[in-house]
Chain A
Amino acid sequence: MAALAEIATIVTHAPWTLSAAHRARYRDAGLGDDDLLQAVALAAYFGHLNRIADAVGVPLDYDVAVMPPHADPTTPPLAAAPTTITGTPAIELASRAATAAALPRWVDHVMEREASIPREVRRAIAGRVARLLGDGDGAASDAPLEPAIATLVDDVTLAPWRLGDASFATLRSAGADDATLFDLCAIATTAGVVSRLRVALVALGR
């Protein structure tokens, strides 16, 4: 169904551009709010898997009918949101109860630890990701980040096809181990899931 590919595309590229008009059009195409919520949440969730796979560089290990082309690191980054939006979601995540219960457990694991990245840095990363994605409700922290971390966070969020050894070189030379580098990426990808979801669900009511 073309509408589902369109939803995945908008959630991935510019979730803040969704609108009440999209919601009405999708409803006319046979997608009710529950369908729409699942499509938005899947696209947001897959954005995490894609970014982690790219960051780690995991090789493909299952059969595919058509091998997709490799990432092109020269592809320009996605555009950051021009502004942030806040408001009540047009569709509540709570209406998908199992997902609404599972996601906070994931977010708490990533955001509420102190080791080896302090909580305030975790929040600053989430705040930066929220601003890149137009999420006014998630941009609680605007504390500055060390430039190498900010660059990594920006690439994870807006240019995952660039991720590779070079993305980690500066932080590695400053002493960061692989677990810390992974954690930095996972904070950014987790914040990305939360912000994409929140922005899309609010934007669908505007």
Chain B
Amino acid sequence: MALAIMDHAASTGVLREVYDRMRERPLPPAYRPKHGGVPGIICAHSLDPQLIPKVFGTSTTLNGAGPLRWHEREQVNATTSRLNQCLY
């Protein structure tokens, strides 16, 4: 890791509250990490807990509804990730 990441187990205070709220959101099985905790891409934002609901709230408006269908949204997301050489 280049910058600190705090996962759910290590979180306290505002970050813990944000993580708990994020865990209550519905998530497609494909995105649910096997470790059962908070997805890594959310934990990647742990240095600014209050940014998390803002970023992932925006995500819900884009990834949670059409008009593009789920596989079409995934195509845009996966293409973008590959071009940015990102694993996510």
Q: A54-B86, A56-B2 are in contact. List 4 more A-B contacts (CB 8 A).
A: A38-B67, A70-B87, A106-B58, A165-B2
Which residue of chain A has its CB nearest to the CB of B59?
Answer: A45
Distance (whole angstroms) from the CB of A119 to the closest CB of chain B: 16
Is A160 within 8 A of B86, CB to CB? yes
Cα distance A183–B61 in the bound complex, in angstroms: 24
Residues of A with C-beta under 8 A to B88: 49-50, 53, 58, 60
Using CB atoms and an 8 Å cutoff, list the residues of chain B in contact with chain A.
1-5, 30-35, 39-41, 43-45, 47-48, 50-51, 54-55, 57-63, 65-68, 72-73, 75-77, 79-88
Residues of B with C-beta under 8 A to A167: 2
Interface centre among A62, A98, A106 (most CB of B within 10 A): A62
Residue in B33, B41, B58, B83 whose beta carbon sits within 8 Å of that of A12 in the complex: B83
Is A38 within 8 A of B39, CB to CB? no
Q: A186 within 8 Å of B by Cβ?
A: yes
Subset of 9 A-B contacts with CB under 8 Å: A38-B66, A45-B59, A46-B76, A46-B77, A57-B3, A58-B88, A60-B87, A98-B61, A186-B48
Q: A99 within 8 Å of B by Cβ?
A: yes
Which residue of chain A has its CB nearest to the CB of B82?
Answer: A68
Residues of A with C-beta under 8 A to B40: 53, 58-62
Is A12 within 8 A of B80, CB to CB? yes
Residues of B with C-beta under 8 A to A164: 2
Is B63 within 8 A of A71, CB to CB? no
Is B72 within 8 A of A4, CB to CB? yes
Interface centre among B30, B43, B76, B82 (most CB of A within 10 A): B76
Is B75 within 8 A of A5, CB to CB? yes
> A34-47: contact bitstring with B at CB < 8 Å (1 yes, 0 no)?
11001101110111
Is A161 within 8 A of B3, CB to CB? no
Q: A179 within 8 Å of B by Cβ?
A: yes
Residue in A48, A70, A179 whose beta carbon sits within 8 Å of that of B55 in the complex: A48
Distance (whole angstroms) from the CB of A91 to the closest CB of chain B: 13
Which residue of chain B has its CB nearest to the CB of A99?
Answer: B61
Is A52 within 8 A of B45, CB to CB? yes
Q: A8 within 8 Å of B by Cβ?
A: yes
Is A39 within 8 A of B84, CB to CB? no
